[in-house]
Structure 1
Amino acid sequence: MTIEVREVLPTDYIDLVELMSELGYPTTLVDLTERFETIQKHEDYQSLVAVKDNQIIGFAGLCKAFTFEFSGLYVRLLAFVVSSKQRKQGVGTKLLKACEEWALQQGAVAITLNSGNREERQTAHLFYKSNGYEGKSTGFLKKLTEVLKDE
């Protein structure tokens, strides 16, 4: 089994719709294409896929940033998913290592991520911990479009 990790291509978008749904981000091809076209224009972002037998089986989306917490550039892993049919086969580890390599190439001193607190995310938490990540915080989200509707 050979797994290749490479940058996302527009021809990958249709396969990514299903993976994003598995991640808990249901979307349409039109919406996903629009997002990727916007993201790909920014050099601080990177989008990677894991490919096996010409099938997209994993996805990672990353972004470079700075923080008030410590000095230096860091990379935030914004999205990370491996097909439920391909888990426990080393795909996630290979994809995560590729993310870390990209972060190091950018001069990052750290890599961070958020993972949902839902019960079904516990396996993902164990995966991250087994790869050297430690739980540090709980993330929060407020959709500003909802605030604007209320005004």
Structure 2
Amino acid sequence: MDSDHDIAQLTVLLDELGYPVSVENLQKRLKIIAHEPHYFTFVACDAQKVIGFMGCIKQYAWQYDGFLLRIEALVIKQEYRNQGLGHQFLSYIEDFAHEHAIHQVILNSGNRPERQAAHAFYLQNGFSISSTGFSKKID
């Protein structure tokens, strides 16, 4: 993720995920994330074209023993969906978790109608529905 072109392609993916961002703002975010040792960004490419990415955070929680891995973002470019890439990302992250002594992978997915296919995908890949997330923007 060194070039402006790569970052521009990531902005397209984030827009598809429902989180539009400018190249400049994403550059700032990635610079911060790059210096955080428990943040991981995984990218899938096809012939120099970014077609998917996953962002994860290794964290410790009050309610669990051991570390967990939170998938903060996972998106596959629309025209590459339903070809197994999302499953490959999740398989990779399970292997990553085993290698780093992480015993649980969690994620949130919005309760919007356009996310129903994603919910079915996560259920098909062994995830269970275990909570409802809330957020409050602080200005």
Instruction: Compute the TM-score of the two structures, normalised by the length of structure 1.
Output: 0.87
**How is 1:21-40 mapped onto 2 (pairs within 5 angstroms)?**
21-40=15-34
Q: Using the aligned pairs only, state the percent identity.
A: 37
**Is 2:47 the counterpart of 1:53?**
yes
1:3 alignment counterpart: none
Q: Pick from 44, 49, 55: which aligns with 2:38?
A: 44
> Aligned to 1:130, which of 113, 124, 127?
124
Which of 63, 66, 91 in structure 2 is aligned with 1:72? 66
Tell me the amino acid that sits aligned with residue 32 of structure 2. Answer: T
TM-score (norm 2): 0.94
2:84 matched to which residue of 1?
A: 90
RMSD: 1.0
Q: Which has the higher contact order (CA 8 A, sep 6+)?
A: 1
- Unaligned runs of at least 5 residues, structure 2: none
Structure 1 residue ranges without an equivalent (≥5): 1-8, 146-151
Runs of 4+ displaced beyond 6 Å: none
CA contact (8 A) 1:63 1:78 kept: yes
Number of residues paired by the alignment?
137
Which residue number corresponds to residue 10 of structure 1?
2
Distance 1:70 1:97 in 2: 22
Amino acid at match of 1:144: I
Q: Which amino acid is the alignment partner of residue 41 of structure 2?
A: S
